[in-house]
């Protein structure tokens, strides 16, 4: 039994294992240090403002109260979509809001609300 050659084969394995362990420890420590920015798109509409919109209002009244819609659909001029999306950077929590105003001519004909869950509440006149 030659102990000299056994030790010679054993040393590179220890070096590789210690290198792998050091890389894993560094990766684990660095993963907690990643900075994630908050992502916000659209305008957050206050629930009180949304509740004020009524059937029969003109486009000008809606625009004055809520602002210009985020999405202008070129194929449907009688639909205004107000979207809001927020994703917190660190916790990755998402907040979504979707509010749609439908027009018949120049007057509000119906309203649809969706606030982050699949249920949609519709109001029609």
Tens digit of each residue's pLDDT (9 = 90 or more) over 71-93? 777 888 899 999 888 888 877 78
The 3-state secondary structure of 57-71 reads CEHHHHHHHHCCCCE
Place of tokens 């001519």: 105
Show the tokens assigned to 92: 């990755």
What pLDDT is stored for residue 22 in this prediction? 83
Tens digit of each residue's pLDDT (9 = 90 or more) over 12-32? 777 887 888 888 877 777 666
What is the rounded distance in angstroms from the CA atom of residue 101 to the CA atom of residue 84? 15
């Amino acid at each position: 039994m030659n102990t000299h050659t056994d030790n010679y084969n054993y040393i590179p394995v220890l070096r590789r294992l210690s290198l792998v362990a050091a890389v894993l420890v560094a990766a684990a420590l660095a993963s907690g240090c990643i900075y994630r920015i908050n992502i916000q798109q659209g305008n957050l509409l206050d629930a009180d403002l949304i509740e004020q919109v009524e059937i029969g209002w003109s486009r000008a009244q809606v625009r004055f109260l809520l602002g210009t819609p985020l999405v202008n659909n070129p194929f449907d001029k009688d639909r205004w979509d107000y979207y809001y999306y927020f994703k917190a950077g660190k916790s990755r929590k998402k907040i979504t809001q979707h509010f749609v105003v439908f027009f018949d001519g120049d007057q509000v004909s119906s309203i649809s609300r969706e606030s982050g869950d699949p249920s949609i509440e519709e109001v029609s006149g």
